[in-house]
Amino acid sequence: MDVTYVALTPAPFAHVAHVFERNMPLRNGMNRACPLGVDHLISWLEVSQKFNDLRTSIAPPEHRLLLEGERIYVAQIHQGLVASWKNGAMNAEKVRRLFRADEHRATFTTELLARDYPSFLDAAVGYSVGYDDKQKCLFDNDFEEQEQVQVME
Protein backbone atom coordinates (compact mmCIF):
# COMPACT_ATOMS: atom_id res chain seq x y z
CA MET A 1 0.00 0.00 0.00
CA ASP A 2 1.28 3.45 -0.86
CA VAL A 3 0.11 6.61 0.88
CA THR A 4 0.99 9.94 -0.70
CA TYR A 5 0.48 13.21 1.13
CA VAL A 6 0.30 16.29 -1.08
CA ALA A 7 0.56 19.91 0.01
CA LEU A 8 1.36 23.34 -1.34
CA THR A 9 4.25 23.82 1.09
CA PRO A 10 6.67 21.31 2.62
CA ALA A 11 5.99 22.65 6.12
CA PRO A 12 3.59 19.87 7.26
CA PHE A 13 5.57 16.97 5.78
CA ALA A 14 7.59 16.08 8.90
CA HIS A 15 4.53 16.21 11.17
CA VAL A 16 2.38 14.15 8.80
CA ALA A 17 5.14 11.54 8.41
CA HIS A 18 5.33 11.27 12.21
CA VAL A 19 1.54 10.82 12.47
CA PHE A 20 1.66 8.13 9.76
CA GLU A 21 4.42 6.20 11.53
CA ARG A 22 2.60 6.40 14.85
CA ASN A 23 -0.83 5.37 13.55
CA MET A 24 -0.23 2.95 10.70
CA PRO A 25 -1.18 -0.29 12.46
CA LEU A 26 0.04 -2.76 9.87
CA ARG A 27 3.20 -1.16 8.64
CA ASN A 28 6.42 -2.95 7.77
CA GLY A 29 6.85 -6.05 9.88
CA MET A 30 3.93 -5.41 12.16
CA ASN A 31 0.63 -7.12 12.65
CA ARG A 32 -1.68 -7.72 15.59
CA ALA A 33 0.49 -10.56 16.92
CA CYS A 34 3.61 -8.38 16.63
CA PRO A 35 2.50 -4.80 17.32
CA LEU A 36 6.10 -3.65 17.82
CA GLY A 37 7.48 -5.69 14.93
CA VAL A 38 8.75 -9.22 14.42
CA ASP A 39 12.26 -8.37 15.62
CA HIS A 40 10.87 -7.08 18.93
CA LEU A 41 8.97 -10.34 19.43
CA ILE A 42 12.10 -12.39 18.68
CA SER A 43 14.20 -10.29 21.06
CA TRP A 44 11.59 -10.79 23.75
CA LEU A 45 11.54 -14.56 23.19
CA GLU A 46 15.34 -14.68 23.48
CA VAL A 47 15.44 -12.58 26.66
CA SER A 48 12.53 -14.47 28.18
CA GLN A 49 14.28 -17.78 27.62
CA LYS A 50 17.57 -16.40 28.93
CA PHE A 51 15.95 -15.11 32.12
CA ASN A 52 13.13 -17.60 32.84
CA ASP A 53 14.53 -20.89 31.51
CA LEU A 54 18.31 -20.56 31.61
CA ARG A 55 18.19 -18.48 34.81
CA THR A 56 20.98 -16.18 33.66
CA SER A 57 21.23 -12.52 34.56
CA ILE A 58 20.01 -9.88 32.15
CA ALA A 59 20.98 -6.25 31.65
CA PRO A 60 18.58 -3.39 32.54
CA PRO A 61 17.53 -2.83 28.87
CA GLU A 62 16.77 -6.55 28.58
CA HIS A 63 14.73 -6.36 31.78
CA ARG A 64 12.67 -3.49 30.32
CA LEU A 65 12.16 -5.57 27.16
CA LEU A 66 11.09 -8.57 29.25
CA LEU A 67 8.51 -6.55 31.20
CA GLU A 68 7.22 -4.83 28.05
CA GLY A 69 6.85 -8.16 26.25
CA GLU A 70 5.03 -9.73 29.18
CA ARG A 71 2.38 -6.99 28.89
CA ILE A 72 2.11 -7.23 25.08
CA TYR A 73 2.52 -10.91 24.21
CA VAL A 74 -0.36 -12.49 26.13
CA ALA A 75 -2.53 -14.01 23.39
CA GLN A 76 -2.86 -17.75 22.77
CA ILE A 77 -0.60 -17.49 19.74
CA HIS A 78 2.15 -16.12 21.98
CA GLN A 79 1.70 -18.90 24.53
CA GLY A 80 2.07 -21.50 21.78
CA LEU A 81 5.05 -19.66 20.38
CA VAL A 82 6.76 -19.59 23.78
CA ALA A 83 6.21 -23.34 24.21
CA SER A 84 7.60 -24.05 20.73
CA TRP A 85 10.54 -21.74 21.40
CA LYS A 86 11.32 -23.57 24.67
CA ASN A 87 11.29 -27.03 23.12
CA GLY A 88 13.38 -25.93 20.14
CA ALA A 89 10.68 -26.35 17.49
CA MET A 90 10.72 -22.62 16.79
CA ASN A 91 13.66 -20.31 16.16
CA ALA A 92 14.18 -16.73 15.01
CA GLU A 93 14.08 -17.54 11.29
CA LYS A 94 10.88 -19.58 11.63
CA VAL A 95 9.23 -16.76 13.58
CA ARG A 96 10.24 -14.27 10.86
CA ARG A 97 8.77 -16.52 8.16
CA LEU A 98 5.59 -17.10 10.17
CA PHE A 99 4.82 -13.44 10.69
CA ARG A 100 6.22 -12.02 7.47
CA ALA A 101 3.78 -14.20 5.50
CA ASP A 102 0.87 -11.90 6.34
CA GLU A 103 2.92 -8.72 6.58
CA HIS A 104 1.45 -5.59 5.09
CA ARG A 105 3.96 -3.19 3.62
CA ALA A 106 3.08 0.47 3.68
CA THR A 107 5.08 3.30 2.24
CA PHE A 108 4.63 6.98 2.86
CA THR A 109 5.69 9.64 0.39
CA THR A 110 5.16 13.36 0.13
CA GLU A 111 4.62 15.47 -2.92
CA LEU A 112 4.79 19.21 -3.26
CA LEU A 113 2.10 20.70 -5.52
CA ALA A 114 3.15 23.49 -7.85
CA ARG A 115 -0.32 25.05 -7.86
CA ASP A 116 -3.37 25.36 -5.70
CA TYR A 117 -5.97 22.61 -6.31
CA PRO A 118 -8.85 24.79 -7.65
CA SER A 119 -6.59 26.22 -10.37
CA PHE A 120 -6.30 22.70 -11.79
CA LEU A 121 -10.06 22.87 -12.34
CA ASP A 122 -9.87 26.21 -14.17
CA ALA A 123 -12.46 27.40 -11.70
CA ALA A 124 -14.19 30.70 -12.07
CA VAL A 125 -13.02 33.70 -10.07
CA GLY A 126 -14.46 33.60 -6.58
CA TYR A 127 -14.85 29.81 -6.57
CA SER A 128 -14.05 28.22 -3.22
CA VAL A 129 -13.40 24.59 -2.52
CA GLY A 130 -16.09 22.99 -0.42
CA TYR A 131 -19.70 21.91 -0.49
CA ASP A 132 -21.46 23.72 -3.34
CA ASP A 133 -24.88 23.57 -5.06
CA LYS A 134 -23.72 20.95 -7.56
CA GLN A 135 -22.63 18.66 -4.75
CA LYS A 136 -25.79 19.39 -2.79
CA CYS A 137 -28.02 18.14 -5.57
CA LEU A 138 -25.93 14.95 -5.79
CA PHE A 139 -26.70 14.12 -2.17
CA ASP A 140 -30.27 15.47 -1.89
CA ASN A 141 -31.75 12.05 -2.68
CA ASP A 142 -29.67 10.41 0.05
CA PHE A 143 -30.90 12.90 2.61
CA GLU A 144 -34.52 12.46 1.54
CA GLU A 145 -34.24 8.65 1.83
CA GLN A 146 -32.76 8.94 5.33
CA GLU A 147 -35.55 11.30 6.42
CA GLN A 148 -38.20 8.90 5.09
CA VAL A 149 -36.66 5.98 6.97
CA GLN A 150 -36.59 7.99 10.19
CA VAL A 151 -40.23 9.04 9.75
CA MET A 152 -41.29 5.41 9.17
CA GLU A 153 -39.56 4.25 12.35
- Confidence category of residue 144, pLDDT binned at 50, 70, 90: low
Highest-confidence range of 77-81, 115-119, 124-128, by mean pLDDT?
Answer: 77-81
Q: Which residues contact 105 (CB under 8 A, 6 or more apart)?
A: 1, 27, 28
Look over the chain and give the mean of its residue pLDDT values, rounded to a whole number.
Answer: 76
User: Is the Cβ–Cβ distance between 66 and 58 less than 8 Å?
Assistant: yes
What residues have CB less than 8 Å from 66, skipping those under 6 apart?
44, 47, 48, 51, 58
Sign of CA dihedral 29, 35, 37, 43: negative
pTM over 0.75: no
Residue 80 reports pLDDT greater than 50: yes
The answer, yes or no, to whether residue 57 has pLDDT greater than 80, is yes
- 95/38 Cα distance (integer angstroms): 8
